[in-house]
């Protein structure tokens, strides 16, 4: 299935500056950095100290040590955030959630529709290995779908769409990939943390997932059950005309070429993103 290529010039990373730091993150703007392949975003200024930054999503299984280390190096102190915000609860975004939330003793916020997958009460539907045409898609039935349980720390995101401990940010309900998926948006510099509402690599392919070949792509096909909602979510995010996007899979991207690709994805979503057997359903 043809996706929408992104030129290398659209990359939002600054590797020459990243080398000057010892936190192993990729800093996108002064107060936003991420760990590619680990599915985590760190929101807060370097040296902010305990309780003065926020972790968005909680990584792949086995990533707790890497996240902890990056947080300590970037923020100092014990590397403890004010809270953890979840875009959604798939296994590759909650891999270290229980460990880190308990260790740091911090609240976890998500959309209410995502709570069953975070409080131990409901598993996600099984993956669909027939879509996407890549090895990861074929292997997707092996991926965990059972919930994690952070019920004692779990809270709804505020009804006014503010984001706890993240001034100037607001959350946007972007369902489709999961029922309670959210994206985070900051108007003043037009930075978008999209989660998996759309991504910038072909996640169904092992080669693309490892090399992070840049392309504008719909949400990972094998774990997306509601394509009508996914389309509406992409169109809502494209209408924001973001300057920088950080997605759950793939490199952060920026500028006119990125926006053009996102607009094309929104316009041609059924053709480009939706698996053929799901079109028209």
What is the structure's pLDDT at 168? 98
Q: Is 115 exposed, middle or buried (0-12, 13-18, 19+ CB in 10 A)?
A: buried
What is the structure's pLDDT at 209? 53
132 pLDDT above the threshold of 60: no
Instruction: Please state, in angstroms and rounded to a whole number, the distance separating the CA atoms of residues 174 and 184.
Output: 10
Q: Which of 97-111, 139-153, 173-187 has the lowest mean pLDDT?
A: 139-153
**Average of per-residue pLDDT across 35-45:** 92
What is the structure's pLDDT at 281? 43
- Please give the DSSP secondary-structure letter assigned to residue 26: E
- Note whether 175 and 229 are within 8 A (CB): yes
Q: What percent of the chain has pLDDT over 90?
A: 77
Q: How many CB atoms lie within 10 A of CB 130?
A: 14
DSSP track, 5-26: E--GGGB---HHHHTT-SS--E
What is the structure's pLDDT at 217? 93
**Average of per-residue pLDDT across 153-180:** 98
129 pLDDT above the threshold of 80: no
139 pLDDT above the threshold of 70: no
- pTM assigned to the model: 0.94
85 pLDDT above the threshold of 70: yes
What is the structure's pLDDT at 2? 61
177 pLDDT above the threshold of 70: yes
Q: In Å, what is the CA distance from 248 to each residue of 46, 116, 203, 212, 217?
A: 22, 21, 10, 12, 11
**Average of per-residue pLDDT across 19-34:** 93
Sign of CA dihedral 99, 102, 104, 107: positive
**Average of per-residue pLDDT across 158-162:** 98
Spell out the residues 6+ positions from residue 105 whose beta carbon is closer than 8 angstroms to its own: none
What is the structure's pLDDT at 244? 98
- Note whether 170 and 183 are within 8 A (CB): no
**Average of per-residue pLDDT across 106-125:** 97
68 pLDDT above the threshold of 60: yes
- Note whether 156 and 109 are within 8 A (CB): yes
Confidence of residue 210 (pLDDT cuts 50, 70, 90): low
280 pLDDT above the threshold of 50: no
């Amino acid at each position: 299935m043809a996706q929408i290529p992104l030129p290398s010039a659209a990359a939002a990373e600054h590797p020459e500056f990243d080398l000057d730091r010892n936190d192993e993150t990729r800093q996108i703007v002064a107060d936003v950095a991420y760990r590619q392949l680990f599915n985590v975003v760190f929101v807060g200024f370097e040296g902010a100290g305990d309780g003065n930054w926020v972790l968005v999503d909680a990584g792949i299984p086995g990533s707790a040590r890497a996240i902890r280390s990056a947080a300590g190096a970037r923020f100092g102190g014990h590397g403890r955030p004010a809270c953890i915000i979840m875009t959604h609860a798939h296994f590759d975004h909650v891999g270290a959630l229980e460990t880190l939330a308990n260790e740091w003793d911090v609240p976890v916020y998500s959309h209410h529709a995502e709570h069953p997958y975070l409080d131990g009460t409901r598993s996600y539907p099984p993956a669909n290995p027939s879509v996407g045409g890549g090895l990861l898609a074929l292997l997707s039935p092996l991926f965990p779908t059972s919930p994690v349980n952070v019920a004692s720390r779990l809270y709804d995101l505020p009804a006014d769409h503010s984001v706890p401990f993240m001034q100037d940010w607001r959350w946007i309900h972007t369902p489709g990939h999961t029922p309670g998926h959210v994206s985070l948006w900051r108007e003043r510099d037009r930075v978008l943390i999209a989660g998996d509402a759309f991504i910038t690599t072909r996640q169904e392919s092992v080669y693309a997932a490892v090399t992070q070949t840049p392309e504008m792509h719909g949400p990972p096909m094998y774990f997306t059950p509601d394509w009508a909602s996914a389309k509406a979510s992409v169109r809502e995010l494209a209408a924001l005309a973001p300057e920088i996007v950080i997605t759950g899979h793939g490199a952060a991207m920026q500028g006119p070429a990125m926006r053009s690709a996102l607009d094309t994805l929104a316009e041609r979503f059924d053709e480009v993103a939706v698996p053929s057997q799901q079109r028209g359903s």
